[in-house]
Amino acid sequence: MSQDSLYCEDLFNYHRNPTREVKVGNKTIGGNSPIQIQSMTTTNSMDAEATAKQVMSIMDAGADIVRITTQGRSEAHMLEHVKRIIRKKGYDGPLVADIHFNPNAAKVAASNVEKVRINPGNFSGGAKKFKLDYSNEQYNEELDLAKEKLSSFLDVCKQYNTAIRVGTNHGSLSDRIMSRFGDTPQGMVEACMEYLRMCETLDFKDIVLSIKASNTRIMVHTVRLLVAAMKKENMNYPLHLGVTEAGSEDEGRIKSAVGSGALLVDGLGDTIRVSLTEDPEKEVPVASKLVNYVTARSNHGTIASVDKADFTPFEYNRRHTHSVLNIGGENTPVVIESAHTSYSAKKGLKADYLFINYPTDIKNHYQKYLIPYSAWKMANTSNNTIPVFDPEEFIATPELPKNCFLSIEYPELNEQIITKLKNNSNVVILLSSAHINRPVEQRALIFKLIEQGLTHPVVINNQYQESEAEDFQIKSAADAGILFLDGLADGLYLENDGQLSPSEILNTAFGILQSSRVRFTKTEFISCPGCGRTLFDLQETTKQVKERTSHLKGLKVAVMGCVVNGVGEMADADYGYIGSGPETVSLFKKRELIRRNLPREEAVEELIKLIKEHGDWVDAPSK
């Protein structure tokens, strides 16, 4: 990798990315401080009692910092009352105002809370006009206007020692940025960098940054690009991490762990929020588990580095591999599952391969089986059984079977194995790791294959000992997600020695592949967690939409609480269900408004009609 591609301290050994310290009330973000956990209220921000009650509940759940929707000046003034209530109750955690479109509200908020979040996409330019033909003069005029509004806001921040977060979201870039960069990672990064440069010119450095998207691939690659851009300009501001609109239940946890976990693995991130379409208190333990799991890798045993791997950290490029069986090449990543006696009765998703230990576990001739080489030699070696070698067997076997797997860890890779792989193309690498920094050690082996010109496909094989589904989802997604987001892996085999059902393990594997955007097996839901702007029961509505549309494999459906951010933040969705007023909903195809201000009780049926009208509907399979 070139110096320009460096986005973290060390690709092979865990270190937190060094950032400047930013004081936010009684907390410190960045530097050597622990990663701070955040969440956001969902109450009406004009109801100070209800908002304060929820703030305290979120802090009781373990949050370090709580953000509050602040639509206008009235809500900004109300923050003072919220803060007074919680301080009287003995809660001293910082509050953050969430501002869109309203610099005047931002100034009021800066006098009442410890931090203010602003969005460069709408802080100074107001609502989008979709003007994309800016001359240099017009571009600079708008930049000057942004600096003028920012300057007066920062004057208040300096007066009250208030920090800010410059938070860019995919889909909410300004017309000015869109005119030069489009809706791209480069545009998102430049939106942040423009504001950083203006802040530094105005002698203000109490800044936290974030770049978020519901698309994990875009989110991860763009945050890396931002860090690299800051390094080029000798900046080191702390980062807030989060996948926007991650969803609810299993998929929300998996998607957040895939996206934010991939950045944490490389030492990026100083504060984090896991956005779930659930009560905000439920976000906090998920974020804490994710952070604790990754940061426990500090001071781990050294992983041997690889110098010459061709790796593109800022965009998706799948590693070039040849196809073995249906693995690698142009094939979608496969899923392997440990065989269970209940398998024949299972419904739903099916693994591509079953791993068995004995020939007697073979149940039918239609299923493809993996079996240890020692047992395979005793089996009837039909076309549906593929042997799995350990490194010693692999080296000792003079002539390999037609197709086989090599189960290996990075420290076991030696010159004999590399030479044998160069002479045998019919091998799939089944890559496991016993290292505490598992994904980085696995990445190192894949880099070694690239360095040696070996194009054998790689299946990730990770083992766990978890008895809670949430813990298993968070850990396995944080470990495997980064390898699929970077196009380095061709399959996934998860094992668990704990109290989880086979379906929980299998569904997690498929969920990781979907959240990593490499294999879609169900509808993808982009649902926001809700905030004070939400105008209907978001959790119940999301549940209703899921019940009716979850069988539409590969389709992306957004359920958003309000129009302020909804249209921009559903940038990736095929269809959008967005709150437009109290108990009213508007429906979108891509970003085009199709049905306006429908009564909420009719909106789900109208959404289904809209999907049918555009030819994207299929009937759900009979149960």
Q: Are residues 556 and 484 in the same domain?
A: no
Q: Are residues 534 and 503 in the same domain?
A: no
**pLDDT, greater one: 527 or 295:** 295
The angle at the Cα of 361, spanning 357 to 363, to the nearest 5 degrees, equals 145
Q: Are residues 593 and 504 in the same domain?
A: no
| pLDDT at 531 (0 to 100) | 63
The CATH number given to whatever domain includes residue 550 is 3.30.413.10
Q: Per the domain annotation, does 304 fall within a domain?
A: no
Q: Are residues 561 and 496 in the same domain?
A: no
Q: Per the domain annotation, does 319 fall within a domain?
A: no
Q: What is the DSSP annotation of 132-186? A: ----HHHHHHHHHHHHHHHHHHHHHHHHHT-EEEEEEETT---HHHHHHH-SSHH
Q: Are residues 270 and 359 in the same domain?
A: no
Residue 431 scores a pLDDT above 50: yes
Q: What is the DSSP annotation of 392-455? A: HHHHH-SS--SSEEEEE-GGG--HHHHHHHHH---EEEEE---STTHHHHHHHHHHHHHHTT--
Measured CA to CA, the distance from residue 140 to residue 368 in angstroms comes to: 62
The CATH number given to whatever domain includes residue 489 is 3.20.20.60
Asked if 66 contacts 95 with a C-beta cutoff of 8 angstroms, the reply is yes
The CATH number given to whatever domain includes residue 83 is 3.20.20.20
Q: Are residues 431 and 555 in the same domain?
A: no
Residue 346 scores a pLDDT above 60: no
Residue 567 scores a pLDDT above 90: no
Helix (H, G, I), strand (E, B) or coil at 48: helix
Q: Per the domain annotation, does 328 fall within a domain?
A: no
Tokens of 543: 């549940």
Q: Which of 162-171, 223-232, 535-544 has the highest mean pLDDT?
A: 223-232
Q: Is the dihedral of CA 533, 535, 537, 543 positive or negative?
A: negative
This prediction has a pTM of 0.91
Q: Are residues 360 and 438 in the same domain?
A: yes
User: If you average pLDDT over residues 424-437, what whole number do you get?
Assistant: 98
At which of 295, 324, 354 does a domain end? 295
User: If you average pLDDT over residues 165-188, what whole number do you get?
Assistant: 84
Angle between helices 216-232 and 249-265 (to 10 degrees): 20
Residue 8 scores a pLDDT above 70: yes
User: If you average pLDDT over residues 589-606, what whole number do you get?
Assistant: 87
Q: Are residues 374 and 416 in the same domain?
A: yes
User: If you average pLDDT over residues 208-213, what whole number do you get?
Assistant: 93
CA 90 and chain centroid, separation? 34
Burial class (CB in 10 A: 0-12, 13-18, 19+), 299: exposed
How many structural domains does the chain have?
A: 3
Q: Are residues 18 and 94 in the same domain?
A: yes
User: If you average pLDDT over residues 572-598, what whole number do you get?
Assistant: 84
Q: Per the domain annotation, does 442 fall within a domain?
A: yes
Q: Which residues pair with residue 276 across a beta bridge?
A: none
At which of 456, 485, 515 does a domain end? 515
Per-residue pLDDT tens for 32-74? 999 999 999 999 999 999 999 999 999 999 999 999 999 899 9
Asked if 258 contacts 216 with a C-beta cutoff of 8 angstroms, the reply is yes
| pLDDT at 345 (0 to 100) | 40
Give the per-residue SS3 of 546-558: HHHHCCCCCCEEE
Q: Are residues 118 and 163 in the same domain?
A: yes
Tokens of 235: 């900046």
Model confidence band, residue 530 (pLDDT cutoffs 50, 70, 90): low
If one counts every other C-beta atom within 10 angstroms of the C-beta of residue 469, the result is: 19
User: If you average pLDDT over residues 565-592, what whole number do you get?
Assistant: 78
In terms of residue numbers, what domain contains 535?
524-613
Q: Are residues 348 and 404 in the same domain?
A: yes
Per-residue pLDDT tens for 460-515? 999 999 999 999 999 999 999 999 999 999 999 999 999 999 999 999 999 999 99
At which of 265, 295, 325 does a domain end? 295
Q: Are residues 510 and 566 in the same domain?
A: no
- The helix (H) or strand (E) run that includes residue 587 is strand 584-589
- The helix (H) or strand (E) run that includes residue 586 is strand 584-589
Q: Per the domain annotation, does 311 fall within a domain?
A: no
| pLDDT at 361 (0 to 100) | 85
Q: Per the domain annotation, does 317 fall within a domain?
A: no
Q: Per the domain annotation, does 531 fall within a domain?
A: yes
Per-residue pLDDT tens for 102-114? 999 999 999 999 9
Burial class (CB in 10 A: 0-12, 13-18, 19+), 402: exposed
**pLDDT, greater one: 547 or 69:** 69
**pLDDT, greater one: 313 or 124:** 313
- Closest C-alpha among 348, 364, 161, 604 to residue 356: 364
Burial class (CB in 10 A: 0-12, 13-18, 19+), 365: exposed
Least confident of 184-198, 444-458, 609-623: 609-623
- Percent of the residues in the chain that have a pLDDT greater than 90, as a whole number: 68
Q: Per the domain annotation, does 42 fall within a domain?
A: yes
| pLDDT at 344 (0 to 100) | 44
